[in-house]
A and B are shown apart, each in its own frame.
Chain A
Amino acid sequence: ETGVTQTPRHLVMGMTNKKSLKCEQHLGHNAMYWYKQSAKKPLELMFVYNFKEQTENNSVPSRFSPECPNSSHLFLHLHTLQPEDSALYLCASSQVSGGDLYEQYFGPGTRLTVT
């Protein structure tokens, strides 16, 4: 068990819908991440939250909106998505404390299909 849960596991949505992905970590970590995984491409980092503060936004379109109400919960709000946004969305957490290990623990992902 990784200690990171994600819901829903599968999501099909139209381009005009609004939906949210949820992630919860039970590991006591202080950093959380959203990744997009597409076939044959490296994991694409979307957002990073460190101590609930967003520290990175890697040029992600505004149709993706993250929210981190506390260090255990992370949301990704979706609206007016495009078919090319279909992918596996992964949440991860890690304990960052000034060292260089950056070991990340992942949830099972949400398989998103935009129709």
Chain B
Amino acid sequence: TQLLEQSPQFLSIQEGENLTVYCNSSSVFSSLQWYRQEPGEGPVLLVTVVTGGEVKKLKRLTFQFGDARKDSSLHITAAQPGDTGLYLCAGAGSNYQLIWGAGTKLIIKP
């Protein structure tokens, strides 16, 4: 059974600080996605990583896919209150399904 473990489960930091969220598995994924979910809304796709070692940047967010395609990280530089939300990673499983992590709840305090 493919599983994705996210850490930390919860993170509360001050505006301007940096942070990293991790998504780990013992399984290899052909691709991995990161989503952000705000209260009362559905998850919104941020990025998809496909190649081992790939790094993608989205403004202050940096996403990395591990060389072996078993893990991924999300790094936020100079966090802003608008970054607050639930961050979810999901790996491509079989039959067009995604394997989901439990999420990291991030709170950025002004």
A contact set with B: CB distance below 8 Å: 2, 4, 6, 31, 40-43, 45, 48, 50, 55-56, 90-92, 94, 96, 100-109, 111
Contact = CB atoms under 8 A, between A and B. Distances in A.
Given A41-B102, A56-B97, A101 B92 contact: yes
Given A48-B95, A48-B96, A56-B95, A92 B9 contact: no
Closest 3 CB pairs of A and B: A106-B42, A100-B30, A42-B100
Interface string B75-103: 00000000000001010110111101111
Most buried by B among A90, A91, A100: A100
Contact of A48 (B41, B50, B92, B97): B97
Please classify the interface of chain B as helix (H, G, I), strand (E, B), loop, or mixed, using the class held by over half of its residues. Answer: loop
B95 A55 contact: yes
Contacts of A109: 40-42
B43 to A, nearest CB: 5
Nearest to B40: A108
22 contacts: A2-B42, A4-B42, A42-B100, A43-B88, A43-B100, A48-B95, A48-B96, A55-B96, A56-B95, A90-B42, A91-B42, A100-B30, A100-B50, A101-B48, A101-B92, A102-B92, A104-B45, A104-B98, A106-B43, A106-B44, A108-B41, A109-B41
Interface of B: 4, 9, 30-31, 33, 35, 40-45, 48, 50, 88, 90, 92-93, 95-98, 100-103
A32 B75 CA distance: 31
Nearest to A10: B40
Contacts of B92: 100-102
Contact of B102 (A40, A56, A90, A104): A40
Nearest to A100: B30
